[in-house]
């Protein structure tokens, strides 16, 4: 057993409390990673609030970056000392994984959202009792994590950990939706609803491939300003004039809309703002949504539900790093850093909109 510090949630919706925990050695297909940075994502907060009580106490966090400390006996391609980005877990052997779509792995729920490993066990202990973890295969709100091998991507040693961390979820989710799923032609219009980390990652990807115009929609003025600085032709508040403004700016309607909000009212306006045969990509966590079927059919709207940017992280994370180094994916402009012990302040900054992508750093 190794000692670590982890941000523990004792019950659904409870605050993150940094406590000393114990961590098992990695199993044959697992990797022990010492964390150097971890992004805070809206998914952590949204799922934390509704997490099942039976799976608490729990450690969240799913945008880790760090250094490999040890590898299991069956792990290949990674050695101690490697710098890595952590992402979601996948089995590697089902039809979706072998086809290059591990975000839709047959075992995704068990490996990422079961409160432990796929077999129901957990590598974590708190005061000698099992502590639930394995969130997105990692639980990176901790100084160390035991990670499923398919959730580990080696990255260049000179890549700052605060930049690598957001690529594991928010960066690849937003950018991958554009680059892997929508694949827009240069000169086509794209609108992003919600200018958080995921939305701005989608915006940067759209700018990188030559979409024009690219528009952003967000209620926070500072985020609209950042969207413009990152290449949006216009950034709009989600007011009653939104649909008319989008139609005017896109010459009759957008070719593509990427929604990161999951809010029914915004999705209704998204459909209204599309041109005939436009595409709507759905990324935001939410509940049930009702669409006017006649409007969808008569406009020929294409709906895309997208997880993790439909990405194969082993291939796509290096592509995002290459885009960053060419100046086309400046994800570092989204980041505000906080010490790990200040996770409460990081969460508050994300909730009030003052930080787009809080990233925790570990001493």
How would you label 186-198 residue by residue, b for 16+ Cβ within 10 Å and e otherwise? Answer: eebbbbbbbbbbb
Nearest alpha carbon to residue 23 among 145, 117, 114: 145
Question: Of all residues in the chain, what percent carry a pLDDT higher than 70?
Answer: 100
- Measure the N-to-C terminal CA separation of the chain; round to a whole number of Å: 21
Tokens coding 203? 């915006």
Cβ–Cβ under 8 Å, residues 274 and 298: no
What pLDDT is stored for residue 159 in this prediction? 98
Which residue has 């592509």 as its token pair? 319
Q: Report whether pLDDT(288) > 90.
A: no
All domains of the chain in start order, with CATH: 2-154+330-361 (3.90.180.10), 174-307 (3.40.50.720)
pLDDT one-digit tens code per residue, 204-248: 999 999 999 999 999 999 999 999 999 999 999 999 999 999 999
pLDDT one-digit tens code per residue, 292-305: 899 999 999 999 99
Cβ–Cβ under 8 Å, residues 181 and 61: no
């Amino acid at each position: 057993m190794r000692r670590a510090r982890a941000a523990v949630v004792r019950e659904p919706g409870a605050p993150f409390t940094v406590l000393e925990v114990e961590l098992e050695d990695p199993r044959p297909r697992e990797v022990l990673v010492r964390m150097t940075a971890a992004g805070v994502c809206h998914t952590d907060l949204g799922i934390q609030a509704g997490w099942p009580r039976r799976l608490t106490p729990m450690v969240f966090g799913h945008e880790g970056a760090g250094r490999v400390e040890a590898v299991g006996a069956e792990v290949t391609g990674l050695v101690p000392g490697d710098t890595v980005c952590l992402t979601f877990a996948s089995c590697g052997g089902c039809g979706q994984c072998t086809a290059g779509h591990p975000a839709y792995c047959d075992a995704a729920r068990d490996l990422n959202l079961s409160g432990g490993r796929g077999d129901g066990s957990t590598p974590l202990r708190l005061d000698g009792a099992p502590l639930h973890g394995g969130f997105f295969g990692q639980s990176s709100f901790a100084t160390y994590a035991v990670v499923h091998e398919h959730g580990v991507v080696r990255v260049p040693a000179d890549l700052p950990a605060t930049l690598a961390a957001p690529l594991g979820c928010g960066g690849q989710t937003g950018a991958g939706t554009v680059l892997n799923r929508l694949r827009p032609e240069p000169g086509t219009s794209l609108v992003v609803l919600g200018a958080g980390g995921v939305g701005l990652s989608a915006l940067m990807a759209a700018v990188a491939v030559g979409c024009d115009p690219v528009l952003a929609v967000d209620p926070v003025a500072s985020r609209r300003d950042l969207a413009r600085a990152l290449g949006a032709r216009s950034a709009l508040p989600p007011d009653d004039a939104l649909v008319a403004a989008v139609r005017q700016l896109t010459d009759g309607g957008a070719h593509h809309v990427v929604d990161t909000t999951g809010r029914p009212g915004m999705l209704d306006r998204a459909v209204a703002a599309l041109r005939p045969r436009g595409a709507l990509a759905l990324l935001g966590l939410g509940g049930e949504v009702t669409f006017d079927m006649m409007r969808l059919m008569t406009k020929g709207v294409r709906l895309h539900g997208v997880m993790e940017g439909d990405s194969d992280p082993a291939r796509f994370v290096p592509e995002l790093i290459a885009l960053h180094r060419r100046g086309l994916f400046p994800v570092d402009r989204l980041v505000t850093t906080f010490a790990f012990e200040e996770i409460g302040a990081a969460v508050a900054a994300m909730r009030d909109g003052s930080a787009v992508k809080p990233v925790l750093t570990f001493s």
